[in-house]
Amino acid sequence: MAAVSLTAVSGCEWFSTMSDPVSIQAHEREPIAPPEHAVPLDGLPEFDLTTVEGMLTPPPPGERSLAVGKAHYETFCAVCHGDEGLGNGPVSTRFPAIPAIVTPKVAAYSDAYLFALITQGRGLMPEYSRIPQAARWDIVRHIRALGEGLPGAAATSPADTAGRETP
């Protein structure tokens, strides 16, 4: 009796409803667009920090770019890296290994590398991919302003990446 029941149920398609792809037939409406900030099933695009140079170009700076970057930096970054980028923010009392971002090493990073680092995070630094893309570029510009005059800062001009696509 059990064998007959299993044979009868095996032909039913109750269990495959979630795996059937949605298709649009003639004269049907397109599916509704996903909500803002929805994550695709295969995840958000990730940047390989070692090869990001050819992938990203900052948009041209607007009039308020530095002010907006400073405001976002103070909101998201200063708590760890400090107002001046010295790694002495309030969180540094509990995590003393927070790096300074006003160093010749960071000044030598490209804008694209800093953008990808903010987007993905690294080590104990969380990812900030939910910050709008333009605001992340503004944060990069503010970091550049903090480190102005350091050795290596000249090697990071936005012209170095001109003509490359922004994802």
Q: Residue 11 falls within a domain, yes or no?
A: no
pLDDT over 70 (residue 160)? no
Q: Which of 164, 20, 133, 5 is nearest to 69 (CA)?
A: 133
How many domains is the chain built from? Answer: 1
Alpha-carbon radius of gyration of the chain: 24
The answer to whether residue 81 sits within a structural domain is yes
pLDDT value at residue 74:
96
Q: Is residue 122 one of the residues assigned to a domain?
A: yes
What local confidence, expressed as pLDDT, does residue 154 receive? Answer: 45
Q: Tell me the CA distances in angstroms from 24 to 29, 64, 109, 162, one per residue in order.
A: 7, 44, 47, 40
Cβ contact 134:115 at 8 Å: no
142: in domain: yes
Alpha helix locations (H) across the chain? Answer: 2-10, 65-72, 78-81, 104-108, 111-120, 133-146
Kindly state whether residue 114 falls inside one of the protein's structural domains. yes
Return the axis-axis angle of helices 133-146 and 111-120, rounded to nearest 10°.
Answer: 120
Query: In this structure, are residues 75 and 138 in contact, taking their beta carbons and an 8 Å threshold?
Result: no
pLDDT at position 62: 77
- Output the pLDDT for position 58: 75
Phi and psi angles of residue 152, each rounded to the nearest 5 degrees, phi first: 95, -15
> Rounded distance, CA 52 to CA 54, Å?
6
- Reported as a single tens digit per residue, the pLDDT across 138-149 is 999 999 999 887
pLDDT band at 33 (very low <50, low <70, confident <90, very high): confident
CATH code, domain carrying 82: 1.10.760.10
87-131: per-residue pLDDT in tens? 999 999 998 889 999 999 999 988 988 998 999 898 889 999 999
| Mean pLDDT, the chain, integer | 77
Q: Which domain holds residue 106?
A: 62-161
